[in-house]
Amino acid sequence: MKHVFRADGIQLSFGLRCILSDIYIGSETGMITGLLGRNGQGKSCLMNIIYGTLPTTDKSVRVDDARLLEAFRRPDLLTYLPQFNYIPKHLRLRRIFLDFELSFDHFLSHFPEYQKVYELPVGSLSGGQRRLVEVYCLIKSKALFTMLDEPFSHLSPVQVERLKLVMEEELPAKGFLVTDHMYHYLLGFCHQVYVLQNGKTHLTKSREDIERLGYLAGA
Ligand SMILES: Nc1ncnc2c1ncn2[C@@H]1O[C@H](COP(=O)(O)OP(=O)(O)OP(=O)(O)O)[C@@H](O)[C@H]1O
């Protein structure tokens, strides 16, 4: 069964500065949706508003008929990877995979280089290794939709390729909203791409659209 995600009517200002004013994002399970935008356009703020961790005056966020004011209370519907490390560094990988109810063997089938770190605290890994564990756990989290804010920073092209396979495994039953400055990765596997520019989201149809909206030029 297909499920639908919609976010619109979102307004955000800081003082006199308007950040978000004309937002519409629509997606569904089985789709990877990209969100591009230059630095400071409001991508992280938008994801935080959708997730309910940044208050705002107006918003409408829905999964099917359920209206989400505090999406962070509905991990069955929506999960969110923030830009910062969200797993406490003292937690061992054994505990993390247990808490997320995920198979470490399946993780190893994609990332065999983690064979020897099962009993180690995640904080003892390199920055890229730690980030990959966090991204993997969110991609595999048991939600209908997952938002990923800059999941590919600090990761190697090989790791990104393998994560893409993990996302594709999840796809039939799940949808993703992904923002990343590694736009060539996103353009390679997103089913649709929005560009956020001057407070407004634009659903693009081609690379030329993205260029016209000022994202690719000089990116
Ligand atoms: N608490 C705050 N008070 C004032 N301004 C803020 C606050 N939080 C964010 N901003 C501003 O809002 C704008 C949007 O920030 P946001 O982090 O959402 O951008 P972004 O598109 O995710 O950028 P980047 O690609 O660099 O991560 C920025 O100009 C930022 O400085």
Residue ranges per domain, the chain? 4-212
Q: Given ligand 1 and candidates 10, 12, 14, 46, which is best to mutate, with the most ligand atoms within 8 Å of its CB?
A: 14
Q: Whose CA is nearest to atom 5 of ligand 1?
A: 14
4, 35, 71, 177 from 67: Cα distances, Å: 12, 22, 9, 18
| Atom of ligand 1 lying closest to residue 48 CA | 18
Ligand 1 pocket, CB under 6 A: 14, 19, 37, 39-45
| pLDDT the model gives residue 217 | 59
Q: How confident is the chain (219 residues) per 10-residue block, as mean pLDDT? A: 96 94 96 95 97 93 95 96 95 97 97 95 96 98 97 93 96 96 87 95 90 71
- What does pTM read for this prediction? 0.94
Q: Whose CA is nearest to atom 7 of ligand 1?
A: 14
- Please state which architecture CATH assigns to domain 4-212: 3-Layer(aba) Sandwich (3.40)
Sign of the alpha-carbon torsion through 12, 142, 168, 93: positive
Nearest to 162 by CA among 99, 109, 201, 211: 109
For 131-163, give one letter per residue: b (16+ CB within 10 A) or e: bbbbbbbbbbbebbbbbbbbbbeebeeebbebb
